[in-house]
Structures are given as structure tokens and as C-alpha cells.
A and B are shown apart, each in its own frame.
Chain A
Amino acid sequence: MSIGLEHYLILSAVLFAIGLYGALAKRNAIIILMSIELMLNAVNITMVAFSRYIVPTLLTGQVFAIFIIVVAAAEATVGLAIIIAIYRNRETIDATEVNLMKW
């Protein structure tokens, strides 16, 4: 059986759901950040799949995927810097214990 657009969409949906679960359910801030990267990658797969199957000659989805990768790199850099700063101040990166701004 040949591979179509739906296969890629469902693969990216599964990866996004796994990343969503990790981002919601984990306590280690680095694992949460890794789950967010997973979700961004799932979205990228969707972009490239739409670009390949709906408009094969325009490449717009691939351009969007490049910008998503740029933003993801910036987000990972700042996110990990924030995590290291939190660890330096509070000796923990447990997301349930970093609750200074919780009401």
C-alpha cells in the first residue's frame, strides 16, 4: 500500500500527543522542554507533508518549517538558560516546586 498524506498527518498527530502528555505530566523542567521540542517537530512534519502533497512545487510549507526551526532553537536556548538560572537560585528544577508566582 502506498504512503499518502494521511500517514504523515497521523504520525505527526501521534508525536504531538506524546509531546503534549510529556509537557503536561512531567515534573522535570528539562523533560518538559524536550517534550515541547517534540511537539514542534511534529508540527514541522505536518508542514512539510502539506507542502509535499498539496502544493508540491511551491515549497511554502518548507519555508515555514525553517522558521519554526529557528524559533525552536531560540526557545531551547532561552528555556535552558532559564532552567539553569532557576537551578542556581533554588537548587531544583522540579516544575511543581518552582511555585513562587503561583496564587
Chain B
Amino acid sequence: MGLAVAFWILAVIGILAALGVVLLRNVFRAALSLILCFIAIAGIYVTLHADFLAAVQILIYVGAISILIIIAIMLTREVQYGSPSNKLRIPAFIVSILFLGAVTFVMLNTRWQVSSLAPQEPTTSALAGKLFGAGGFILPVEIAALLLLAAIIGAIVLVREK
């Protein structure tokens, strides 16, 4: 029961904040709204018994990516122009609604094989076993490290003064 109440509150906050991202005129307020949406999604992870992912969501999205976005907004000085739409606004809206309708139809009409087992808690050590243990995801972890290194170097090269 408490889980249901928490889910509904977080879902409403998350969807309203996501609407704020695309509807608010001020770019800076849209970024703050995005941060609120990230926090609500971290709460959604908690209701899904994914405690490690909730912490990762707070650390990486709320902590790092949002700061990056706000710094980019400040560096580009585009706040004065607001957040205008291009001339594809109506087709984009129609495409989004059609996508939402199709996906919702498919999701509601598929018979998911929901398991009745209790979820694993806490997940941190189990995830570490998955990521680093035998037969796990150790090769993707190494590739992810390489990807992050490439992204760091690429970002530095792109924004460096000539």
C-alpha cells in the first residue's frame, strides 16, 4: 500500500517535471525541472527495490549531468531567446502521441510472465558479482571504461581554445 502511494506521487512528480522540460519558456527553469524529474526517477528505482541504481541515479544524473547541462546553459548565453519550437511542432506532437498510443497498446496486450519471487535485496553485492564475477559482464565493464576515457578526451579536444 505504501509502495503504491509512493509510486503514484513519484510518477505524477516525474511526469509533471518532464512536461516542464519541454513546455517551460525559460531554459534554466527547464534544466531545474529536468533535475526534479531525475530525482523522481531515483525514487521510482527505490520503489522497484533497486537501491544501488537509485544511488547511482542521484550521483550521476542529479550530481554530474545536471551540473554539466547548467554550465553549458550559462556558457552559451541563449537563455534570453527562451525555448522556442521549430515549425515541426504539430507533427512532432502527433508522432509522440501515436508512439505513446502504440507502445501503451502493445504493453497492455502482452501477457508478461510476471514472476512471484521476492526481489533481491540489497542489490549492491549481487550487482558486483554480476559485473565482475565469472561469466559476468567484465568485458563490457572494460569497454565502458575505454568509452568514458574517449569521451573525456573528446570533450577536452572539442572545447579547447585554439
Contact = CB atoms under 8 A, between A and B. Distances in A.
Asked if A pairs with B, the answer is yes
Given A48-B53, A62-B123, A54 B147 contact: no
Interface in B86-132: 86, 88-89, 91-93, 95-97, 99-100, 103-104, 107-108, 112-115, 117-120, 123, 126-127, 130-131
A103 interface: no
Given A48-B53, A77-B152, A26 B22 contact: yes
Contacts, number: 238
Interface in A36-92: 37-38, 41, 44-45, 48-49, 51-57, 59-60, 62-63, 65-67, 69-78, 80-85, 87, 92
Interface residues of A, number: 74
Interface in B123-147: 123, 126-127, 130-131, 137, 140, 144, 147
Interface of B: 3-4, 7, 11, 14-15, 18-19, 21-22, 27, 30-31, 34, 37-38, 41, 44-45, 47-50, 52-53, 56-57, 60-61, 64-65, 68-69, 71-73, 75-76, 78, 81, 83-86, 88-89, 91-93, 95-97, 99-100, 103-104, 107-108, 112-115, 117-120, 123, 126-127, 130-131, 137, 140, 144, 147-148, 150-152, 154-156, 158-159
